[in-house]
Each structure stands twice: as C-alpha cells, then as structure tokens.
Amino acid sequence: MNNSFLSIVLILDEASDWKQLPGRLRAIYGALKGRFAHWEIILVNNTDRRQLEGVFDELEEELRSGLYLIHLARKTNHHHAALAGFDRANGDYTVLLENAFLDAREQQPAGESKDPILALYEKAREGYDIVYFRAPARKARFSQRLLYGLFYHIMRRYSELDIDPLAHDTRIISRRALNALLRLREKLPFMKAIYSLVGYRSTSLNTSVPIDRRKTPLREQIHNSLLSITSYTHFLRAMLLRVFLFAMGFLILVTANALSVKFIGKDLLGTPQEAVSGWTFLVVLISAFFAMTFLILYIMSIYLSNIYQEIKQRPLYVVESFQRV
C-alpha cells in the first residue's frame, strides 16, 4: 500500500466520452484500489453536456466518494481544461491521463505493470518529478506531418526549450513541479513548452500507443502552432534579422551594379549596358529605404519582444531544493 496521495485528471472533450466514462472510471479505480491509501479522480467536463442522470449510478460507492467533476462554463481548448484540473488537484502526484491509454490497455508499455498509472508512478518514485509516455509515431495526414515537422523544428531551433515531439499528454507530475507549473499563468498555454520551462528531473517511458490528432482540424492546428511559436520562441525576430541582412546585401549589390553601369558602361556580369538618366539614383534610393525599413522593423521587434517577456512575468528561476551543507 502506497502512502502517496494520487490525483488523476481526466478531460472529457467529446460528447462520446460520456458513454465510455463508467468503464474508464472502473479501469482507473481498479489500478488505484488496494495500492494507494489516498486518491482522487478529477473529471473536467469540456463539453456542452450538463445533464448527468444515470452516468454514475452504477459505480461503486467507494469510487464515487473519490470522484470530483468540474464543469467548464464554455468549451475551451485541451490545455486550458488540463489547467482547470491541475488547479483542483491536491495529490502528492498528479496524473494527466488520456483516454487512449484506457481504451487500448493491451497496447500499454511492457513491464511489471500493464497499467499506465502504475507504470508512471513507479518511474516517478525513482526520483523523477515529471514522467511522460513517448509514442513510437504520430498518426496524421501528410499535410499534418509536414506542419508538425516544421513546428517542432522551429520550437527546438528558436527557443531554449527541450520539447519531445513524440511526447504524449499523459504524464505524472510531482507536487513541487505542479506548484511551479501553476505559477506560470500563461494565457496561451502550450503544455509541452510549460513542462520544459518548469524544469525538474524529467524522463519518458516508451509506449506502443501512437499520437493521433487526425480529428483535429488542420486550420485549428495551424492557429495553435502560430500562437505557440510567437509565444515561446524568437523565430519572428530571427526572420526579421535575416530579411534585414538580405536587404543590406541587395542594397550593396544593386548600388555597385548601378555605379558600374553609370561609369563603366557594363554591369557586374560584364554585359554592356546603357545608363539611363536618374536610374542609378532611383535604384539606390529605393534599395536604401528597403533596407532601412527592415532595420527599423527589426529594432522594433526587439523592443516588442522585451516588453512581451516582461508582461508575461515568467519566473527567472525555479528552486528545486534547499539544503544546508
């Protein structure tokens, strides 16, 4: 019997989740019963359903006594729903559990226990604050695979975050890591980025359950990707710098070519050209304003980026522990 208090957060995003909910709750209860002295199951209702007659009637009394239901006033994205569950969690460890791991128990990672909750807990007890499942692949259409590939490349290249592109949302989080996470009240949360911002010792468990986001519309995925890129990376600022450098190179090249035509009668490639009155001045002027415009935009992007970081008020550091030597 483990003395740890375990909180399980389960998010209901689709109306069909209610039909399978009793069976899923019994599966969770079967993993907790007799193994943990204290536990709670927090359901986050991220659907429009409010009438719950008959949903919990056939459940065991002990299971119902540890069950809590959060109704969100309106449907929101999955990340905000997860934060609602984390805010309510009281456990020493909190498990965010995806329905895929309850619906495909025969595909759970090999080991002493086939149950995902116990597998995560046992690994966390080895000294890890965050343990997540790592998928073997991502099920997606070709266009989605291209989007995800580009998105994670940008996130890893233009930020200091260590984000695993094959990480499932299912994971266990220690109390101290969860407390640090809840202090990051991001308005545009991308949970994988927030887990990385928090830090602490993290590891993964391999699973045969793939990541499946095929039901998510491509338009929504693009929208979320753009929000995450602008919120957690300096990608746009880096792009403006590259455009400015290109504009400066273009200015130098065009100016040299125009002067060559004016005074030598040949362009930089050695082709004879006839100088047109006012053409040199006009080309140089346009190129100079082009480069100056992007220089100003780049400088403004630095100021905006600094203001953006200050407004977010992310912690400068997170203390893992303190001890006297």
DSSP 8-state secondary structure symbol assigned to residue 272: B
- Using alpha carbons, list the distances in angstroms from residue 230 to 32, 75, 155, 160, 256: 41, 24, 10, 14, 37
Count Cβ atoms within 10 A of the Cβ of residue 236 and give its class: 0-12 exposed, 13-18 middle, 19 or more buried: middle
Amino acid sitting at position 92:
D
pTM above 0.95, yes or no: no
Structure tokens at 231: 């919120």
Tens place of pLDDT per residue across the chain (325 aa): 778 899 999 998 887 778 888 888 888 888 888 888 888 999 988 888 766 767 787 888 888 888 888 888 888 888 888 888 898 899 899 999 988 887 765 444 444 446 888 889 999 999 899 999 998 888 877 878 888 888 888 888 888 888 888 889 899 999 999 998 888 877 666 888 888 888 889 999 998 888 877 777 777 778 778 778 878 888 888 888 888 888 888 888 888 887 787 777 777 777 777 767 777 677 777 877 777 887 887 777 777 766 766 666 655 444 444 544 5
Domain-wise residue ranges, the chain: 2-232, 235-312
Query: Is residue 148 a contact partner of residue 158, using CB atoms and an 8 Å limit?
Result: no
First to last CA, the chain: 34
Count Cβ atoms within 10 A of the Cβ of residue 267 and give its class: 0-12 exposed, 13-18 middle, 19 or more buried: middle
Cα 172 to Cα 96: distance, rounded to the nearest angstrom? 6
Report the helix count and the strand count for the chain, using DSSP H and E.
11, 9
Structure tokens at 55: 């949903």
Structure tokens at 324: 């006297």
Fold of 2-232: Spore Coat Polysaccharide Biosynthesis Protein SpsA; Chain A (3.90.550)
